[in-house]
Chains A and B, each alone.
Chain A
Amino acid sequence: MSFLVHPLFLVTFFPLLGLLVIAFLKEEQKTAIRWVALATSLVDFGLSLWVLAEFNGANPALQLNLDLVWLKIAGLEIHFHFGVDGLSILLLLLTTFLTPIAILSTWSGVGLLRERVKGFMLFFMLLETAMTGVFLSLDLVLFYIFWEFTLIPMYFLIGIWGGERRIYAAIKFILYTMAGSLLMLLAILYIGYQAGSFSLPELVAHRSAFAAAQTWLFLAFALAFAIKVPMWPLHSWLPDAHVEAPTAGSVILAGVLLKMGAYGFLRFNLPLFPQATLQLAPWMGLLAVVGILYGAIVAVGQQDLKKLVAYSSVSHLGFVMLGIFALNPQGLSGGVLQMVNHGLSTGALFLIVGMLYDRRHTHLFSAFSGLWKIMPVLGGLTLVVTLSSMGLPGLNGFVGEFTILLGAFGSPTIWSPWLALAATLGVILAAIYLLTMFEKVYLGRVMQEENLQLKDISTREILTLAPILVLIFWIGLYPKPFFDLINPTVGQLSAMLQSAAVALH
């Protein structure tokens, strides 16, 4: 039973302890439920720091392996295999970092968030376990189980605590993502049958067993991941889910769930199907760039704050995908870092939109103007977050996007330099829609009398934003510690792809 005290096991399943405690509290003990949830997620963040302490950043391999046989009959073995490397360590930290923030942001929630706290927190604890498991699983079946299970808590969070069209959004969210993952399940079964194993390290070593079908397998996995990212043209579930989800749900959805898709490409598509990756990389890069431009252009025309941030996500995740399919060290590590950056800045944007919603019960631009005069502190914080999302040098967004573009310009696999040039347009468009948003909401005269009474940001709200801002500056000014965690694994991955490229030509 020594696995019970393994750091990766603990960090994944600790939230279930909180779930158990909450389950025994009464619906009326709302404060207690909130505090238990917050404390659980904070302890879980502490546990992930323990993982970080045990993690050796210089080692590119999978570390802290926890490998147990879960299910075994003749000809079939499914492992409970957890491990962490440079691809997953930051995403693990991002997950446990954003969860307490999201929980804290619900304190002042309106409507059902005030009435039905217990169920909300129960689902949040389940969600944290599922997300963490996704980033740590190294067995294809185990990964699929966690991957698919994240849908259930999110479905309830949107469907019960969401906005007006919540049921439509929840069903669209779950069916859309399921469509992709079912094909991935078929691919997993096929691989398992051909190679006689579901364990990722073993499959990477024996990938010749299913190399004949690798284009199809790549596409099956890619569909599941591309829907999650989401890549254009599979993004249409995202604006609905974001607009209808409660603030905390949006934060997690944008901050973590979307990253699962990009992470899936890195963890499975690239190492399992290197030849197919090389052949399809230009097309994936093209889709990524279309996503960057499409998301940005649609964002320009939005009348709804949340929709704007949702479409900006489509655009930003396009950068991540472009970096990944540049397939060189800069592109890949920029992609991984940009996932974290996007989680931070978009998470913060959703928190801010949520704060405005709590005060005015709407997301529409038309309800706001000149807020700077009424809420200068919130205005200042919003400005920093907006600039971070835009990619202003000195803040985190710049570091990620710059590295990605560097990788894309230098990559021989993706029609360099045309895609990278087109992607650069996305940076300009981002400045347009984000600054327009800021201008409409915060600058100018106050047009709405009811806004004059609005209170500025509260201490608790500052507490939710402050940790994110610290990281925004940290990554922006001194990204080296973060790159140091990513680079060894990414270097190994791209070297492997290089040798596959040599084998291909």
Chain B
Amino acid sequence: MTLNDILAFLPMVTLLTWAILLLVADLWIPPERKRLTALLSAIGLAVTLGLTLAQLSFTQAGNSLTAFHDMVVTDGFSVFLDIIFLGSGLAAVTLAYNYLKRMGIERGEYYSLLLFSLSGMLLMASAHDLIIVFLALELLSIPLYVLAGFARPRVESEEAALKYFLLGAFATGFVLYGISLMFAATGHTDLAGVLAAAEGGSAFVRPLFLAGAALFLVGLSFKVAAVPFNMWVPDVYQGSPSPVSAFMSVGAKVAGFAALLRVFVMAFPSLGAEMTPLLWGLAALTMLAGNVLALAQNNIKRLLAYSSIANAGYLLMALVPYASGQAAASGVAAMLFFFAAYALTSLGAWVVVVALEQAEGQGLLIDDYAGLGRKSPWLALAMTVFMLSFTGFPLTLGFWGKFFLFRAAVQGGFTGLALVGLLTSLLSAYYYLRVVVVMFMRAGQPQVCNELWLGLTAGVLAVLVVVLSFMPNPLLLLASGAGIR
């Protein structure tokens, strides 16, 4: 282990160490003072974020660091994603701060599990080897299975955990099998070696490689919630404690896409002819099914679950031209930009959900939002911003997010797919705006938890969504500078 290795790996190691120490320290923190654990975990996240930002100035100059014999890499791509992961982690801590106590499930291990899962995500963003991808996938998933069941003994939560665990393990199996087939076909697990073998290695077996790549895609499709591998999503999002769902909707999804992007762009360009139609179908189906099914939802958590499926579809759309040079680069930049827009929007919407959720799963129906516009106009306004951003209305970050995704698809020559995306966006306008209708145009007496932290988080996120849409250039430059090389 050289200094180089340590420098490249510092944020992830810091977070992992912090998580272990927190687990131990929590033993001495009395049950009535669990907020100290929350505070400590937030400090850990802030420290890691600081280290990541220090790396940012390094990668922005166009540098990258590989470490542990090319197993992991720190480049613009990984740093950009790390910031999103850590941001969503901080949001998950903020959301849980009071929520766990309100719901009577305040236990310190929430925070260390969160940090463990996050360190898996950081590892995923840096993964430069198929083995590391697998390792990261396990490290990020297993704590999430536990977190999904954190509201035990509530049956819904236990069901969510079991469902998530079973399907997640199944998906991981696909990934692992795919990796082993690819290893058999190429003799390598490092992405550069796989690429070299696929483009003219002597002992290369193409059908085996293709089968491995397809299985890999299927496995990760579970993680990013693409149709038809999405069955778990609504139930798990609904059953899990809301802060966990919020974290899943951003962290787990973005991590899945990180792996897809890195591996597809780096190792699979030679499979473009086979993979492109596959991804096309997957993207179209996901956009269509996610948006159509969302129309019928009455529960806000299920609505957001289907919305997260639909958004996976839009993201996949920009992945379709992954094998074609210029369009691929703009696709990667568009996806990175969209991650940021989606993270701010989705986390914001979940903040509002947490603010309205009551014990025993009350306050989660969309109808429970009636009258929110009169009762707490600022919270309703923030929710409106998030819904408009999800829809892709101008003057929200979501508009630019979709704009660049669609642009990437058009640039890659997939105008038809972009058309599917735009028409399904129209469907999504109906269900997102329904929330706005209920909040502002129906009378009611919603129960709102007036907590300073929640209001502040929702406000900050809403302001970011709007203000960044007026000056998207810095974020865009950051995203387009963070390509995979």
Asked whether A171 and B430 contact (CB < 8 A) given A182-B422, A190-B410, the answer is yes
A174 near B330 with CB under 8 A, answer no
Residues in B whose Cβ lies below 8 Å from that of A463:
none
B440 near A186 with CB under 8 A, answer no
- Kindly state whether residue A422 has any CB partner on chain B within 8 Å: no
* A-B pairs under 8 A by CB, number: 78
Task: State which of A145-153, A292-300, A466-474 sits at the interface with chain B.
Answer: A145-153
A73 near B477 with CB under 8 A, answer yes
- Kindly state whether residue B285 has any CB partner on chain A within 8 Å: no
Cβ-neighbour of A167 out of B407, B418, B429, B441 (below 8 A) = B441
- Kindly state whether residue A170 has any CB partner on chain B within 8 Å: yes
The smallest beta-carbon distance between B232 and chain A, in angstroms, is 31
- Kindly state whether residue A156 has any CB partner on chain B within 8 Å: yes
A189 near B407 with CB under 8 A, answer yes
B440 near A193 with CB under 8 A, answer no
B415 near A74 with CB under 8 A, answer no
Residues in B whose Cβ lies below 8 Å from that of A166:
441
A189 near B394 with CB under 8 A, answer no
A186 near B418 with CB under 8 A, answer yes
The smallest beta-carbon distance between A234 and chain B, in angstroms, is 15
Number of interface residues of A (CB under 8 A): 35
- Kindly state whether residue B18 has any CB partner on chain A within 8 Å: no
* In the bound complex, CA of A447 to CA of B410 (Å): 64
Residues in B whose Cβ lies below 8 Å from that of A182:
422-423, 425-426
A186 near B426 with CB under 8 A, answer no
Scan B343-368; emit 1 where CB is below 8 A from any A CB, else 0: 00000000000000000000000000
- Kindly state whether residue A26 has any CB partner on chain B within 8 Å: no
Q: Please name the residue on chain A nearest to B419 by beta carbon.
A: A186
Q: Please name the residue on chain A nearest to B333 by beta carbon.
A: A73
- Kindly state whether residue B142 has any CB partner on chain A within 8 Å: no
A186 near B433 with CB under 8 A, answer no
* In the bound complex, CA of A130 to CA of B472 (Å): 20
Interface residues on B, range: 20 to 34
The smallest beta-carbon distance between B329 and chain A, in angstroms, is 9
A186 near B393 with CB under 8 A, answer no
Scan A176-189; emit 1 where CB is below 8 A from any B CB, else 0: 00110011011001
Q: Max chain B CB contacts within 10 Å: which of A73, A74, A146, A174?
A: A73
Residues in B whose Cβ lies below 8 Å from that of A72:
473
The smallest beta-carbon distance between A450 and chain B, in angstroms, is 30
* In the bound complex, CA of A145 to CA of B403 (Å): 11
B422 near A160 with CB under 8 A, answer no
- For residues 267 through 301 of chain B, which have their beta carbon under 8 Å from a beta carbon of chain A? none
The smallest beta-carbon distance between A473 and chain B, in angstroms, is 40
- Kindly state whether residue A75 has any CB partner on chain B within 8 Å: yes
Residues in B whose Cβ lies below 8 Å from that of A155:
433
- Kindly state whether residue B259 has any CB partner on chain A within 8 Å: no
A148 near B406 with CB under 8 A, answer no
- Kindly state whether residue B47 has any CB partner on chain A within 8 Å: no
A159 near B419 with CB under 8 A, answer no
Q: Please name the residue on chain B nearest to A151 by beta carbon.
A: B393
B426 near A71 with CB under 8 A, answer no
Asked whether A145 and B399 contact (CB < 8 A) given A72-B473, A179-B426, A186-B422, the answer is yes
Residues in B whose Cβ lies below 8 Å from that of A74:
480
- Kindly state whether residue B411 has any CB partner on chain A within 8 Å: yes
- Kindly state whether residue A192 has any CB partner on chain B within 8 Å: yes
Instruction: Give me the interface of B with A, judged by CB distance under 8 Å.
Output: 326, 330, 333, 388, 393-395, 399, 403, 406-407, 410-411, 415, 418-419, 422-423, 425-426, 429-430, 433, 437, 440-441, 472-473, 476-477, 480
Give 20 A-B contacts (CB < 8 Å), ordered by A residue: A71-B472, A71-B476, A73-B473, A145-B394, A145-B395, A145-B399, A146-B394, A148-B394, A149-B394, A149-B395, A151-B393, A152-B388, A159-B441, A160-B441, A171-B430, A171-B433, A182-B423, A185-B406, A189-B403, A190-B410
13 extra interchain contacts, Cβ-Cβ under 8 A, other than A70-B473, A182-B423, A183-B419?
Answer: A73-B473, A76-B407, A145-B395, A148-B399, A149-B393, A159-B437, A167-B441, A174-B429, A175-B429, A182-B422, A185-B422, A186-B418, A190-B415
